[in-house]
Structure 1
Amino acid sequence: MLRFFKINDPFRLLGILVLLLIYSGFYYLVLGAPITQPELIWMLVGERLADGFHMYTDVIDDTGPLSVGVYWILHEIFGRSFFVYKMLAFLIAIFQITYINTLFIQYKSFDENTYIPAAVMLVLFHLSFDMLVLSPALMGGTFLVLALGQLFAQTVLQKEGSDSVLLAGVFGGIAACFHFPLIIFLPFLVVSGIAISGFTFRQFLLSLVGYFLPLSLCALYYFWIDALPEFVFEYIFASRVVDVYPHVTILALIGIFALPLLLAVIGYFVGVWFKVITVNQQKQRQLLFVYVIFAVLSILITNRRTPYQFVIIIPSLTYFITQIFVYVTQRKALLVFTFLLFVGVPLSGYLWLGLTKQSGLLDQYQLKVEQKHQISKGKKVLVLGKDTAYYWESQPATPYLNYKLSDRILKDFDDLSDMAGVYQQFLLEKPELVIDQEGTFPALLERIPQLGDMYHVQGVGIYVLK
């Protein structure tokens, strides 16, 4: 297999597509990879915007403004179609794989021009079944990859022009508008630009202008629709303060990423000890080493503990792991590393999915539709809790989609303005069913007696519109 990808032939990308179908097919056809709760939330956000509502005022959630724009367009065209979401995620992954491999060839990152980086990156995308979902991290990470390409151009060619510097900043700012934790690219841009790329003061300022341009345009839009405070609070601050959604345990994340991280460390030392590289290649190595450090730091400010958050570290892991297959010449060692990569890495993801599905540990992450959820079918629903499966065949009502962020409003009983806003939202949208898993609604009915006249109790935590 390794020989096939060593040849510098663009048709090797057909082999990448075949491997993509094989690895992904095992996840979905054999193991039955589930739809996750965040995926449904993203789809519901797009649905709310397609119905004419505004993000952060009429939809309380912390999804990035450009991400919700994508979900909105997809819902307008395709409606609720998880197949379309998966296909678009696959296309984005293929673009990233092709772009990174082309980048390494164009700027002579290795002595040989091969498609081994593409094969390595494809395998890394199958570390977990949710790496290939249309997440804000995947979409934002695409622009980080584009920014990385501009930094490669600046570093390798030592350009005095301003185009690559400006574009690196713009792409980094766009990435932050898709997924806020990617704002960590700003200090990365500063460190790498000054210490590695040798930015002049003028280039440094230009990169900062480019970086803040997309963020400023987003802020300007929400200022225009009188939603700037909500944008700042819900997107920038609240989601970093509110408790993390522990969808996946830390131990599980360690188990999934232990092998690829080990291979990357080995690849790093192989490149340092066994290969004399050019000055440009040394700068590229430094750039990607600093990149992976900041990428890991960005994960620390995410509010959903999931494997897909790690998708942004894949380009750096690809570079370091590729060094093993380019610089190691011993046949037996190459066979061992090839087996570890092409079999061991995806196998760790397969085992994690299979074991967690059987043990029930995935219940906090997957969308598990059961008989009890049929009560909401075809109705306008408000769910106050973690079980979003009630939205599966229903329509979300009122802005309170993210229950953790909504708590600051729904439980702020002493704020008459918030209580008046809640009552107006209920009058406007009149959810036919309220599923209260957190015990919030009884206190709300007591604080707003008019709501008590609108709803009656049908069961434990179930309130129906009269």
Structure 2
Amino acid sequence: MSWQGVPLNFFELKWLLIGQRMDEGFMMYKEIYDYCGPLSVFMYWLLDALFGKSLVAHHIISSLLIFLNAVIFNLLLIRNRVYKESSYLPALFFVLMVLAFPDFMALSPQLMAMTFILLALNNVFKRIANEVTDDLFLIAGLYLGIAVLFYPPAIVFFVSLLLSFFIFSTPILRRVALYFNGFFIPLVMAYCFYYWNDSHYYAWDSLIMRGFFGSRVVYFNIFENMKFLAIPIFWGLYAMLNTFAVGRLTSFQLKIAQTMLLIFLSSLVVIWLDVEFSSVQLLFFGLPMSFFLTHYILSIKKRRARAIIPNLIFISLIITPYIVYNQLQNDVWAVTPKQRSFSESSFMILSDRVDALREGDIRGPFFDPALSKQRLKELSDPIRAAAMIKAIDKALPTVIIDDWSKVPLLFRTFPDLGSKYELEAEGYYRKISN
């Protein structure tokens, strides 16, 4: 977010590079080692094909998505008559909450998945309002399946919305089956695509084994930065407690509030489930917090309180982004300038940090460090070794930087590759000029 003076962060850089590699014709998961969701990868590829390696294009699309999500959220509340009076406060609060969270401009898988979670949530609200048609369940499942393809940990919302569907109504086996069928349709289509391209094992290993059960990557420490996020957290929790403690809810409104509470709890579970913790995961909290803040303001009866409290909330939320971005401790996730200058046209890096890739032409399949190390351990398998050398040979780098001391293993496994490079310094290999 250069316009705010916030540096490019690791995960934005990674998404840009994934899009670039996909546009060069490399197969995700088989030739690009990372656990980003398939539809998110498709979006990054599409943006790179249209605009090149452009962070501005990512930020423009993410801004449009934030606006779209705010509109969808507000419309589903108005059309389902969740509040006694129609209001645009939910959209306003949603935008203010999103602005308060670091990296809100990142075109993240979480932001893209949220659009389809909202569309599924609309069907849940319709069901709570006693609209009973079978397609509500089928389409809700379909939306959530698409959301999972953008961001796999969004499967938590599949469970929470399933509970919302059937806690408040008698479960019917046919509708449960439709909900699951809708959910699995996009997942099966994605599996068939990777199976057809002989990449299904790599997709499973990357998305499931690494994405859910691998080592944790922390880009953002919420405890160290809690004081800077105290304002939105305080108002959101206070409004939530007030909603359930004070009451004044109709039966319909209580069911909606309980559903939004499930969304809040699901957002917590997502943080626990995902192996990658970054500030963009906080976006999911924007939905329930906006809902409860709106209900709290609309329920204020005293005239003086109605004049003071909403303005106090607005002002405090408006100043929060300035506090966050001026004081936030972002040393972990910010991309620092390259410590070594590369005049070479391309390079491959085996390292736990990807910030050295910022200005170079990346080659090789190694993106996520944990997944890359696992692939290097599998070199004894001839099929997987063949896939790795094919990915490397498709675009040989001029320089290889080896922070893991794994290049000697690569060269022993692939002697032809080793014959093309010479050791220039420790962990620094240069392609031999012909």
**TM-score under structure 2 normalisation?**
0.92
The corresponding residue for 2:101 is: 128
Give the aligned residue type for 2:338: E
Higher mean Cα deviation, 96-105 or 415-424? 415-424
Q: 1:406 aligns with which of 365, 372, 393?
A: 372
Matching of residue 70 in structure 1 with residue 26 in structure 2: no
Which residue matches 1:150? 123
Aligned counterparts of 1:95 and 1:230: Cα–Cα separation in 2: 34
Q: Which of residues 363, 370, 384 is equivalent to 2:338? A: 370
User: In the alignment, does 2:357 pair up with 1:391?
Assistant: yes
Once structures 1 and 2 are overlaid, which stretch shifts more, 411-420 or 258-267? 411-420
Distance 1:47 1:162, change over 3 A: same
Q: Aligned partner of 1:176: which letter?
A: V
**Deviations along 1:317-367, whole A, 9 cap, x unmatched?**
1111112211123455456643553333354443343234xxxx4233122
Is the partner of 1:218 in helix, strand or coil? helix
Q: In the alignment, residue 147 of structure 1 is paired with which amino acid?
A: A
How far, CA to CA, are the matches of 2:238 and 2:402 in structure 1?
A: 50
Q: How does 1:121-270 map to 2 (within 5 A)?
A: 121-156=94-129, 158-252=130-224, 254-270=226-242
Provide the residue aligned with 1:308 in structure 2: 280
How far is 1:463 from its partner?
1.6
Q: Deviations 1:277-299 (Å, cap 9, x if unpaired)?
A: 22221211111111211222112
CA contact (8 A) 1:108 1:281 kept: no
| Paired residue secondary structure (2:262) | helix
Determine which of 14, 24, 32 is the counterpart of 1:41: 14
Aligned partners of 2:138 and 2:178 also within 8 Å? yes
Aligned to 1:9: none
Report which of the two has the higher share of helix.
Answer: 1
| Residue 272, structure 1, aligned to residue 238, structure 2 | no
In the superposition, relative to structure 1, how do residues 439 and 355 fare at CA in structure 2: closer, same or farther (>3 Å)?
farther
The code of the aligned residue for 2:136 comes to: S
Q: Is the 8 A contact 2:228 2:327 kept in 1?
A: no
Contact 1:384 1:435 in 2 (8 A): yes
Unaligned runs of 5+ in 2: none
- Distance in 1 between the 2:310 and 2:426 partners? 55
Contact 1:140 1:175 in 2 (8 A): yes
- 1:34-113 to 2 correspondences below 5 Å: 34-113=7-86
**2: CA distance, partners of 1:163 / 1:46:** 35
CA 1:350/1:245 → structure 2, altered by over 3 Å: closer, same or farther?
farther
Structure 1: distance between partners of 2:387 and 2:72: 48
Moved more, 327-336 or 451-460: 327-336
> Mean alpha-carbon deviation: is it higher for 429-438 or for 161-170?
429-438
| Deviation for aligned residue 1:390 | 2.7
Helix, strand or coil at the partner of 1:210:
helix
Q: Conserved in 2, the CA contact under 8 Å of 1:59 and 1:399?
A: yes
State the alpha-carbon separation in 1 of the partners of residues 402 and 169 from structure 2. Answer: 54
Q: State the partner residue of 1:17.
A: none
Partner of 1:382: 348
Aligned amino acid, residue 66 of structure 1:
L
Report sequence identity in percent: 25
**Distance between the aligned counterparts of 1:371 and 1:266, measured in 2?**
46
Distance apart, 1:310 and its partner CA: 1.8
Change (3 A) 1:320 1:247: same
Q: What amino acid sits opposite 1:164 in the alignment?
A: L
What is the CA–CA distance in structure 1 between the aligned matches of 2:224 and 2:169, rounded to whole Å?
Answer: 37
Q: 2 CA distance for matches of 1:385 and 1:321?
A: 44
Q: Are residues 205 and 418 of structure 1, via their aligned partners in 2, closer, same or farther at CA, if it must alter by over 3 Å?
A: closer
- Farther-moved stretch of structure 1 (421-430 vs 75-84): 421-430
Q: Deviations over 1:174-206 (max 9, x none)?
A: 000000100112221321121124442211111
Query: Conserved in 2, the CA contact under 8 Å of 1:274 and 1:327?
Result: no
3-state SS of paired residue (1:63): coil
Check 1:119–1:28 CA distance in 2 against 1; reply closer, same or farther (3 A cut): farther
Is contact 2:35–2:206 with CA below 8 Å preserved after alignment?
yes
Q: What is the CA-CA distance between 1:446 and the residue it aligns to?
A: 5.0
What amino acid is the match of 2:227?
G
Shift of 1:450: 4.2
Q: Do 1:193 and 1:204's aligned partners in 2 also have CA atoms closer than 8 Å?
A: no
**Residues 346 and 460 of structure 1: CA distance in aligned 2, closer, same or farther (over 3 Å):** farther
Over the residues paired in the alignment, what is the CA RMSD in angstroms?
Answer: 2.3
Q: Which runs of 5+ in 1 are unaligned?
A: 1-26
Counterpart residue identity of residue 184, structure 1:
V
- Give secondary structure in 2 for the equivalent of 1:38: helix
Structure 1 pair 421/162, CA: closer, same or farther in 2 (3 Å)?
Answer: closer
Note closer, same or farther for the CA distance 1:38–1:448 as it changes in structure 2 (3 Å cut): same
- State the one-letter code of the partner of 1:295: S
3-state DSSP of counterpart to 2:223:
helix
Cα deviations by residue, 1:288-318 (Å, 9 ceiling, x for unpaired) = 1112112221121112211101212211111
- Are the equivalent residues in 1 in contact too, given 2:117–2:143 (CA < 8 A)? yes
* Partner amino acid, structure 2, of 1:169: G
Report the secondary structure of 1:406's partner residue.
Answer: helix
Aligned AA (1:132): M
| 1:173–1:256 Cα change, 3 Å | farther
Query: Does the CA contact (< 8 Å) of 1:264 and 1:320 recur in 2?
Result: yes
